[in-house]
Structure 1
């Protein structure tokens, strides 16, 4: 594997890690305490290019900090008893307010419906963090700086355009398949399940109120590839179920 191929592989691993979580620690440069970093908790949802989008109030301290200096970092990590023993990713870049509040709202609220009241408030706005540097720690001895072009997925305009239709179809006609995904691929027996997003690397389900991330064996770029991948996963689950009944 060439150094470029290795960089792309590590970048994809870091990106898939970030896709699995929707809460992070946001660090801005304090306006009130000049020169000091200021950390806060921030939910986020990734856009099609892998950039985190956050919903924040213009009254919040971190928003005032961003408006004064857009340089930020976002630490993404799972809650664990031993936080240093698990993977984590730090994304650094510049945050900028999105001009259209409704442009990203539908996708954001699919992932974080509890933010509906904030979304409706007049003083909350979306800010996108344009990723410039990535620090990926995948575990002991697995530590990398990742280049942004290796972290970002390729353009997937066709998939992005088809996403709403794919979700509607899966949620209307294939909830049994999604329950099988939960059971056989995530070891989770779920009753109430829906697909909330699909992207280059995989898709997200809400299963009995909990978000689950499932990665595709191979990336997809359009709706036909998505269909093929989802059908193959359903077949895999049926085969697993047949083996269990033998």
Structure 2
């Protein structure tokens, strides 16, 4: 198996190895905020987050829908702390309207993945679901093994080298 085939294989399964993402948002004054949230993902690589309206990141998404997300290997599973496997996407956030068919489907996926706590969230009016639609990203496997992600299906990996 070639290096690119190995990378492609790791890329296709990497998001299944984590249950939460780090999200970066920006407020109206341009001040960044880093936070985290559990997620579910669909086959088109759209990421769904179920978040409180009271959270800083939720308030930021309402004023600026550009969100960076980071999936990162657990420190305890990493061979080298400076080279943790990680995947980031630049995304655009869209609010999913409550009680629509799509909203109900996403709530069911959250309940399946995270259990009964989701029923509590469902009853809280400030909790909302956003679809984070990736438009590109980067997958880093280790030192010197970074790939740019592109394509309509976000399925094309291009090895990033120091060559111009």
TM-score range, shorter chain: 0.7 to 0.9
Does the C-alpha gap of structure 1 residues 148 and 130 become closer, same or farther in structure 2, counting only changes over 3 Å? farther
Deviation at 1:105, TM superposition (A): 1.1
Q: Which has the higher contact order (CA 8 A, sep 6+)?
A: 2
Counterpart of 2:13 in structure 1 is: 16
What corresponds to 2:140 in structure 1?
Answer: 137
4+ runs deviating over 6 angstroms: none
| Correspondence 1:95 to 2:93 | yes
Shift of 1:16: 1.7
CA RMSD of aligned residues (A): 2.4
Equivalence map 1:222-233=2 (5 Å): none
| Contact 2:19/2:39, CA 8 A, preserved across alignment | yes
Task: Check whether the contact 1:137–1:144 (CA below 8 A) recurs between aligned residues.
Answer: yes
- Structure number with the higher helix fraction is 1
Shift, 1:11, TM fit:
5.2
Q: CA separation of 1:94/1:126 partners in 2, compared to 1, >3 Å: closer, same or farther?
A: same
Aligned length: 146
Q: Which residue of 2 aligns with 1:110?
A: 112
**1:23 positional shift:** 0.6
Structure 2: distance between partners of 1:91 and 1:46: 13
Cα separation, 1, equivalents of 2:22 and 2:67: 10
Unaligned regions of 5+ residues in structure 2, if any? Answer: 157-164
Give TM-score scaled by structure 2 length: 0.78
Query: Offset at 1:70?
Result: 0.3
Q: Please list, as runs of the form range in 1=range in 2, the aligned pairs for 1:1-246 lying within 5 A after superposition.
A: 10=7, 13-31=10-28, 34-81=29-76, 82-99=80-97, 100=100, 101-113=103-115, 114-151=117-154
Q: Which runs of 5+ in 1 are unaligned?
A: 1-5, 154-246
1-structure distance, mates of 2:151, 2:10 = 13
Q: Secondary structure at the match of 2:104?
A: coil
